[in-house]
Amino acid sequence: MTNLRNLFRIKLTNKILLRLMLVMALVGIADTTYLTTDYFFGTGIKCLLLEGCEVVLTSPYSKMFRIPLAFFGLGFYMLIFVLVSAADIYESKLVHKAILLAGTIGFLFSLYFLYLQVFVIQALCIYCLTSLFSSTVIFGAGVVLYRRGRAL
């Protein structure tokens, strides 16, 4: 009975972690869509709380291969959304590994971009920090999800 109760608790916690990752992926999608739209259509960024958005988003570090980093971020968050949805449906350990791998890569890139903002560009962008927060939560939840999956 105790094993059944523990299994139920782990599965319930996994569902909560998956929902949290879905929400963070949606936040990331909204954030990066806003920045990507501004880049391609010049809608104008409204920088809230911090005043470094313009500096960061126009720096040479804001693009890779002439493509804005926000566009790559959009792809990352869409991938996370698909992987988390698949994990919710199929409960596959392989999908959990893919979430962990993608989350780790996204988190490491976010840390690198934070380093660039603080030490190289010397300006902070609230939208970049929002993406950092989202990728950190996705990474943390992915680690917990993967470790719990190994315990089953």
* pLDDT at residue 151, as a whole number: 47
**pTM, rounded to two decimals:** 0.89
Q: What is the DSSP letter of 13?
A: H
Which position has the higher pLDDT, 50 or 45?
A: 45
DSSP state of 91: -
Q: For the chain, what is the largest distance between any 2 Cα atoms, rounded to a whole number of angstroms? A: 60
The domain ranges of the chain are: 2-151
Name the class of domain 2-151.
mainly alpha
Give the SS3 label for residue 26.
helix
The pLDDT of residue 93 = 86
- What is the reported pLDDT for 8? 54
pLDDT, tens only, 66-108:
999 999 999 999 999 999 999 988 878 899 999 999 999 999 9
**For residues 89-106, b (16+ Cβ closer than 10 Å) or e, as one string?**
eeeeeebbebbbebbbeb
pLDDT digits (tens, 9 = 90+) for 7-44: 556 666 888 999 999 999 999 999 999 999 988 988 77
So what's the pLDDT on residue 46? 80
Quote the strand ranges of 20-95, DSSP E. 63-64, 67-68
